[in-house]
Amino acid sequence: MNRRTVLVVEDDERLRLTIEDYLTMNDYKVITSEAGTDAVRIFETVKDEISIVVLDGMLPEMDGYDVLKHIRKSSDVPVIMLSARESEEDQLTGYALGANNYMTKPFLLSVLKAQIDAFLRKPEDRNLQKGALRVDTGARRFYLNDTEMETTPKEYDVLLYLMINEQIVLDRNTILDHVWGQDYSGTDRTVDSIIKQLRKKMTPDYPYIKSVYGVGYYFEVTENDS
C-alpha cells in the first residue's frame, strides 16, 4: 500500500522536524517546507501526489493564508491550518479561505494525526451517526435528522469529542485541554457556554448531551431520546 503524502509547511524548525518524525513513524510520507513561496513551488510541482497539507498561518516571504489562497485556485486537497492566532476572527478567516480545520498552537501530535486520519478516510468511513445526529468529519459538518446543524469551530470540536467518547463522563478541564489546548487561560465556564449553545441548536427533542452535576458532561442516546 502506498503511503499517504503530507505537505508540512512550518517555519519553526524544531516543530517542523517533530511533526515530520511523528508522521513518518506513523507511516506517512512527509514533504516539508519552511517558507510560503517555497511551499507554493513544491505544491505546484507535486500536487497530484499530496494527500493533505498542514500549513502554518504565519510564514516568511508569503503568509500562510496567501499560500492557502493559491492552493484553492487549483485544488480541493484538505488543508489543516496551524497558528498561534487564537481569535475566532482569525479562525473564521481561515475557514472562509478554504481551510478544512484550524489548530491553535500548542497542540498534541496525536490530535493532529487524528485530524489527518479523519480527512483521509474513505467517504463511507468518515460518517458517524448516533441517534438522529450525524457528523461528516471530512466536511466538519453535523446533521440533525439529515438537516445541517450550523456550528462554530469550537462547538463542532466539543460536540465531536463528546460524541466519540459516548457514555464517558468528561470533566470540564479535560474538554478544555482537548479542544482549547493545555495552555488555554480561560475558565471552565467556557465549556458550559458552548454546551448551552449546542443544546439550544439541538433543541430539547434531542437531549443527547447529559450533565453530571459538579463534574462535567457526557453524550448518550437512550431509547427515550428521539
More confident call, 187 vs 192: 192
Q: Is the pLDDT of residue 50 over 50?
A: yes
Joined together, the cell numbers standing for residue 41 give 513551488
pLDDT band at 183 (very low <50, low <70, confident <90, very high): low
pLDDT of 122 reads: 62
pLDDT band at 123 (very low <50, low <70, confident <90, very high): low
How many domains are there within the chain? 2
Q: Is the pLDDT of residue 11 over 80?
A: yes
Q: Which CATH number do you get for residue 158?
A: 1.10.10.10
pLDDT of 3 reads: 64
Q: Is residue 226 a part of any domain in this protein?
A: no
pLDDT of 219 reads: 94
Q: Is the pLDDT of residue 103 over 70?
A: yes
Q: Indicate whether 144 and 205 sit together in one domain.
A: yes
pLDDT band at 1 (very low <50, low <70, confident <90, very high): very low
Q: Is residue 225 a part of any domain in this protein?
A: no
Q: Is residue 154 a part of any domain in this protein?
A: yes
Q: Is residue 209 a part of any domain in this protein?
A: yes
Q: Is the pLDDT of residue 125 over 60?
A: no
Q: Is residue 84 a part of any domain in this protein?
A: yes
pLDDT of 96 reads: 83
The model's pLDDT over 54-66, given as tens digits with 9 standing for 90+, comes to 999 888 888 899 9
Q: Is residue 224 a part of any domain in this protein?
A: no
Q: Is the pLDDT of residue 221 over 60?
A: yes
Q: Indicate whether 110 and 128 sit together in one domain.
A: no
Q: Indicate whether 147 and 56 sit together in one domain.
A: no
* Contact by Cβ (8 Å): 207, 224: no
Mean pLDDT within 120-139:
79
Q: Indicate whether 62 and 139 sit together in one domain.
A: no
* Average pLDDT over the chain, rounded to an integer: 87
Q: Indicate whether 24 and 75 sit together in one domain.
A: yes
Mean pLDDT within 160-183:
84
Nearest to 87 by CA among 213, 186, 189, 223: 186
End of a domain among 88, 120, 152? Answer: 120
